[in-house]
């Protein structure tokens, strides 16, 4: 008995010492590795980091992403940007958005030039010579035509069928040219095929491997998948066959999936990562004060969309909706909650590059007197009670909801606030069981042009019930349909300004504020421009010594 | 003994079936479903309706339940819609991380808790004893996410000893990435270890058997190390096994804070997306772990302690 006790005592002691030693070794090992990894030596950034020189090759970028990648199948995204940001590294399309984000233009990618028939229904895409997939296999016109026909098939491209509306058929014109026939002119067609559902895949491999292809996909993007640990991280290696000469600069990119914003910030500050996305508004000041960190904002189609249920008689009353527009003190909300980074909207949808300026379509000013006058003219001069549903767990929604409750209260609208998890909120929006709702924690457009979302809102034939608001306006619907098929850019700009104004007048929904994407990275991470959709172009990113 | 085991296993099956029924109806009665969450806002309502039909989500709840139970009986956990993979495969990929975290956390709780409990028992009601009890009560009471963040702040950000988040495999990788979350878990559980072991030790130290040992001139440390500890450890082991549920709950929070790809973070994700198949399978698994741990403790206790008679219960 005594011996047993003695042994257990010694065993515990040995165990303690052993574990401590191994942990110390592990720590030491980790530190040793950190020290030998150039981009982790963040301590020297302030003196040595510089993005003013020429880009240098090499280095491994660790990027903390809020949303996890769940699938690499570009026709079946399961987790929004979590999947899309990985697609953008692995695959590419015939055309793409301006990677610098400076313009809203569509620029060449796998196709270096194209022609459009006079009636706007036939496109001839000429493939860039010598392009290859990441396994070295040449990209053929057959691959392109096959991919685009999948994109245009609503049974295969079920989730993003809205961006393939009007697509007819793709065929091989010759070994380096693909012909696309549309059913009718689609003004946004080049924008439609610039995003992930139209990214080019190798026909032979997808047909041979089926679903298994997406566990080790092959594409034409700047990187290729090296390892994918679901729920944890995805690591990409440089694609040696990438078509842009000399790019990408980085040897590898690792996306760590970190949903907690505090943890993302800690990882960046500790030098465990070099970049992070979705910086919370409440943390911007603190991060911007760190001389080793650059906080980057990008103008994207992201907004705080407040939805009315027009089946409720109060919100079917135009005077009420307009009164609520006037009742919102957007400048105060912007300053107090969003650190002045938001933009006061002059449309009801998210900000699009072709939006008319505020001098043409004027924003609603904060005018309580006007708001009260409109309420007096409405069917509810004494006000009414209603409910505002919004997603819980997002840092700013509580403050925003409280501000709106107070401001609407000033014109007699008593608002009960209900915070629910995003799934419940989205479900209520989708089934139209709400009074007022912010349907998503983050609400962005898939395109930089307004065609898709204007259609969702105005066109009832798409089955969206006025984008689940139950609002209907045949005149605006007609204008939107004409806009979608007008190819002349000047004419489109004029049409959109009119639609934008008409939507502002009708206020089917309210854009409370337009918001930017906010990322942060260490000061020695260079070439970090986001395109107009807020997507990184990591083929341009490099790490300064 | 055998009849006792049969009875306990039968009871465990009833408990797990009850858990299965409760989980199924609770998660289905919460608004939202996986298809709408994943596809709403992009896919057309017609597409969403078609996919819901394919997944039988448009059928009456009772029909969905019978379908689910019949699949479970045949050993089919189903396929996760939101992750587009078989549930068993997803759980298999993530089980190791959570198991390692729980084991490491439990080990650290013992390494921290046992010495502190001995010190507290040897100096009862002194400032030392009170400080230990206060300290461990505090770490037990602190919210897991806060404790985790503080550890990440100190040992990750300030000292740079450990990464603040993420997971790596292998012994070195596990020690690097799981030490902080396991410490958060261990510190919380150490409070339970200290309280149980201390009171058990105090009781044993006053027994005649220990008095007799002392009278033979042994030092107090040897009395505790060789005699009292052995007699007191069973109560602590029992408490630890009962706390398996606490540990599983702790992993849910800590895996979120430290972004570990384990079953806890998977459960949070599954609930957020109303992934019914995954939520049901994970809840059942956690329930089974608690039931089995409790059963195993009883059996082991019976083997180790002749005073415990299983058949008599």
Residue B311: predicted pLDDT: 53
Mutate: best of A31, A196, A307, A423, partner B, most B CBs <10 A? A423
Higher confidence at residue B190 or residue A33?
B190
Higher confidence at residue A200 or residue B225?
A200
Which residue from B minimizes the CA distance to A27?
B161
* pLDDT (mean) for A246-269: 93
A424 part of contact set with chain B, CB < 8 Å: yes
Residue B201 has pLDDT above 60, yes or no: yes
* pLDDT (mean) for A202-206: 98
Neighbours of B154 (CB within 10 A): 13
Q: What are phi and psi of A181, to 5 degrees?
A: -105, 125
Q: Which pairs with CB-CB distance under 8 Å and at least 24 residues apart come from B283-286?
A: B283/B19, B283/B23, B284/B16, B284/B19, B284/B20, B284/B23, B285/B91, B286/B245, B286/B248
A421 part of contact set with chain B, CB < 8 Å: yes
Mutate: best of B27, B30, B42, B104, partner A, most A CBs <10 A? B42
Q: Binning pLDDT at 50, 70 and 90, where does residue B157 land?
A: confident
Residue B307: predicted pLDDT: 64
Distance from CA of B41 to the nearest CA of A (A): 8
Which residue from B minimizes the CA distance to A154?
B47
Query: Helix, strand or coil for residue B81?
Result: coil
A13 part of contact set with chain B, CB < 8 Å: no
Residue B306: predicted pLDDT: 64
Which of B83, B107, B265 lies closest to A70 in CB terms? B83
Is the Cβ pair B160, A15 closer than 8 Å? no
The whole-angstrom separation of Cα B255 and Cα B249 is 10
**Cα-based angle A49, A54, A60 (whole degrees, multiple of 5):** 60
A490 part of contact set with chain B, CB < 8 Å: no
* pLDDT (mean) for B146-174: 89
Residues of chain B in contact with residue A271, where contact means CB-CB under 8 angstroms, are 160
**A412 close to A61: Cβ distance less than 8 angstroms:** no
The whole-angstrom separation of Cα A341 and Cα A518 is 10
Which of B43, B257, B266 lies closest to A158 in CB terms? B43
Return the top range by mean pLDDT from A135-139, A395-399, B254-258, B295-299. Answer: A135-139
Residues of chain B in contact with residue A1, where contact means CB-CB under 8 angstroms, are 226-227, 230
A31 part of contact set with chain B, CB < 8 Å: yes
Supply A537's token pair: 């172009």
Residues of chain A in contact with residue B37, where contact means CB-CB under 8 angstroms, are 422-423, 426-427
A340 part of contact set with chain B, CB < 8 Å: no
Residue A203 has pLDDT above 90, yes or no: yes
**Which residue blocks in chain B are alpha helix, DSSP H?**
2-29, 34-39, 45-54, 61-73, 87-122, 127-141, 144-151, 170-205, 208-215, 220-223, 229-242, 244-257, 263-272, 276-304
* A:89-148 residues touching chain B, CB 8 A cutoff: none
Residues A426-468: tens digit of each pLDDT: 889 989 999 999 998 888 898 999 999 999 999 988 888 999 9
Closest CA to A390 of A505, A280, A512: A512
A1 part of contact set with chain B, CB < 8 Å: yes
Is the Cβ pair A260, B257 closer than 8 Å? yes
Distance from CA of A460 to the nearest CA of B (A): 11
The whole-angstrom separation of Cα A230 and Cα B238 is 36
| Region for residue A175 given its phi and psi (left: phi exceeds 0; alpha: psi -120 to 50; beta: otherwise) | alpha
Residues of chain A in contact with residue B160, where contact means CB-CB under 8 angstroms, are 31, 34, 270-271
Is the Cβ pair A70, B90 closer than 8 Å? no
A410 part of contact set with chain B, CB < 8 Å: no
Residues of chain B in contact with residue A232, where contact means CB-CB under 8 angstroms, are 166-167, 259-261
Is the Cβ pair B165, A71 closer than 8 Å? no
Residues A63-83: tens digit of each pLDDT: 999 999 999 999 999 888 999
Residue A223: predicted pLDDT: 98
Distance from CA of A224 to the nearest CA of B (A): 21
Which of A27, A262, A263 lies closest to B161 in CB terms? A27
Residues of chain A in contact with residue B175, where contact means CB-CB under 8 angstroms, are 22-23, 26-27
A347 part of contact set with chain B, CB < 8 Å: no
Neighbours of A520 (CB within 10 A): 28
Residues A486-545: tens digit of each pLDDT: 999 999 999 999 999 999 999 999 999 999 999 999 999 999 999 999 899 999 999 997
Residue A21: predicted pLDDT: 53
Residues A169-198: tens digit of each pLDDT: 999 999 999 999 999 999 999 999 999 999
A270 part of contact set with chain B, CB < 8 Å: yes
N-terminal to C-terminal alpha carbon distance within chain B: 10
Q: Binning pLDDT at 50, 70 and 90, where does residue A31 land?
A: very low
Mutate: best of B164, B226, B282, partner A, most A CBs <10 A? B164
**B240 close to B297: Cβ distance less than 8 angstroms:** no
Residue A2: predicted pLDDT: 36
Which of B82, B153, B256 lies closest to A260 in CB terms? B256
Which residue from B minimizes the CA distance to A43?
B160
């Amino acid at each position: 008995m005594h011996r047993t006790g003695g042994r257990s005592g010694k065993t515990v002691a040995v165990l303690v010492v052993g574990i401590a030693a191994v942990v110390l070794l592990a720590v030491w090992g980790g530190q040793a590795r950190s020290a030998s990894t150039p981009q982790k030596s963040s301590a020297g950034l302030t003196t040595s980091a510089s993005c003013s020189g020429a880009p240098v090759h090499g280095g491994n970028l660790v990027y903390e992403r809020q949303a996890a990648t769940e699938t690499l199948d570009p026709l079946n995204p399961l987790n929004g940007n979590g999947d899309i940001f990985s697609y953008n590294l692995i695959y590419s399309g015939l055309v793409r958005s301006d990677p610098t984000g400076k313009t809203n233009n569509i620029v060449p990618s796998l196709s270096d030039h194209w022609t459009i028939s006079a009636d706007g229904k036939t496109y001839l895409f000429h493939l860039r010579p010598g392009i290859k997939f990441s396994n070295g296999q040449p990209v053929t016109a057959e691959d392109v035509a096959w991919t685009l026909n999948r994109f245009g098939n609503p049974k295969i491209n079920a989730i993003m069928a809205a961006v393939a509306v009007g697509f007819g058929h793709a065929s091989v014109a010759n070994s380096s040219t693909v012909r696309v026939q549309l059913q009718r002119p689609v003004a946004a067609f080049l924008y439609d095929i610039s995003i992930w559902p139209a990214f080019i895949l190798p026909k032979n491999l997808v047909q041979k491997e089926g679903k298994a292809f997406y566990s080790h996909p092959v594409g034409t993007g700047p990187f290729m998948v090296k390892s994918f640990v679901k729920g944890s991280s995805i690591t990409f290696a440089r694609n040696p066959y990438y078509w842009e000469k000399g790019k990408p600069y980085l040897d590898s990119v690792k996306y760590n999936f970190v949903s907690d914003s505090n943890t993302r910030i800690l990882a960046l500050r500790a030098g465990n990562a070099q970049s992070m996305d979705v910086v919370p508004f409440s943390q911007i000041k603190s991060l911007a004060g760190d001389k080793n960190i650059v906080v980057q904002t990008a103008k994207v189609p992201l907004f705080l969309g407040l939805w009315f249920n027009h089946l409720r008689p109060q919100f079917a009353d135009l005077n009420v909706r307009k009164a609520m527009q006037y009742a919102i003190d957007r400048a105060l909300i912007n300053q107090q909650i969003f650190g002045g980074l938001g933009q006061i909207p002059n449309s009801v949808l998210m900000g699009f590059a072709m939006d008319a300026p505020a001098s043409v379509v004027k924003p609603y000013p904060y005018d309580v007197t006007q708001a009260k006058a409109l309420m007096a003219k409405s069917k509810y001069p004494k006000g009414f009670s209603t409910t505002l549903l919004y997603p819980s767990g997002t840092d700013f929604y509580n403050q925003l909801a409280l501000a709106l409750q107070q401001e609407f209260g000033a014109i007699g609208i008593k608002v009960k606030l209900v915070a629910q998890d995003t799934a419940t909120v989205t479900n209520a929006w989708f089934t139209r069981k709400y009074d007022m709702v912010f349907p998503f924690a983050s609400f962005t457009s898939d395109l930089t042009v307004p065609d898709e979302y204007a259609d969702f809102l105005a066109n009832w034939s798409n089955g969206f019930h006025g984008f689940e608001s139950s609002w209907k306006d045949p005149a605006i619907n007609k204008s939107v349909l004409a806009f979608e098929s007008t190819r002349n850019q000047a004419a489109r700009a004029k049409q959109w300004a009119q639609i934008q104004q008409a939507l502002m007048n009708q206020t089917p929904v309210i854009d409370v504020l337009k918001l930017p994407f906010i990322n942060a990275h260490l000061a020695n991470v260079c070439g970090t421009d986001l395109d107009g959709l807020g997507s990184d172009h990591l083929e341009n990113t490099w790490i300064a010594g | 003994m055998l009849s006792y085991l049969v009875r306990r296993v039968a009871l465990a099956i009833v408990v797990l079936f009850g858990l299965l029924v409760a989980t199924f109806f609770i998660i289905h009665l919460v608004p939202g479903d996986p298809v709408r969450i994943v596809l709403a806002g992009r896919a057309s309502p017609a597409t969403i309706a078609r996919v819901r039909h394919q997944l039988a989500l448009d059928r009456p709840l009772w029909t969905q339940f019978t379908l689910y139970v019949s699949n479970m009986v045949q050993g089919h956990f189903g396929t996760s819609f939101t992750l587009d993979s078989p549930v068993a495969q997803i759980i298999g990929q993530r089980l190791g991380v959570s198991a390692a975290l729980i084991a490491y956390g439990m080990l650290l709780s013992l390494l921290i808790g046992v010495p502190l409990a001995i010190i507290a028992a040897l100096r009862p009601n002194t400032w030392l004893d009170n400080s230990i009890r206060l300290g461990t009560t505090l770490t037990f009471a602190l919210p897991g996410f806060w404790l985790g963040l503080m550890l990440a702040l100190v040992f990750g950000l300030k000292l740079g000893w450990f990464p603040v988040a993420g997971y790596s495999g292998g012994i070195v990788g596990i020690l690097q990435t799981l030490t902080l979350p396991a410490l958060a878990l261990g510190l919380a559980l150490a409070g339970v270890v200290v309280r149980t072991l201390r009171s058990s030790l105090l009781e044993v130290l006053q027994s005649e058997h220990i008095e007799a040992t002392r009278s033979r001139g042994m030092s107090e440390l040897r009395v505790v190390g060789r005699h009292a500890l052995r007699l007191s450890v069973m109560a602590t082991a029992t408490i630890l096994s009962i706390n398996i549920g606490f540990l599983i709950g702790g992993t849910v929070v800590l895996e979120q804070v430290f972004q570990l790809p384990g079953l806890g973070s998977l459960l949070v994700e599954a609930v957020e997306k109303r992934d019914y198949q995954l939520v049901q399978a994970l809840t059942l698994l956690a329930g089974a772990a608690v039931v089995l741990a409790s059963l195993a403790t009883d059996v082991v206790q019976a083997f180790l302690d002749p005073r415990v008679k299983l058949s008599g219960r």
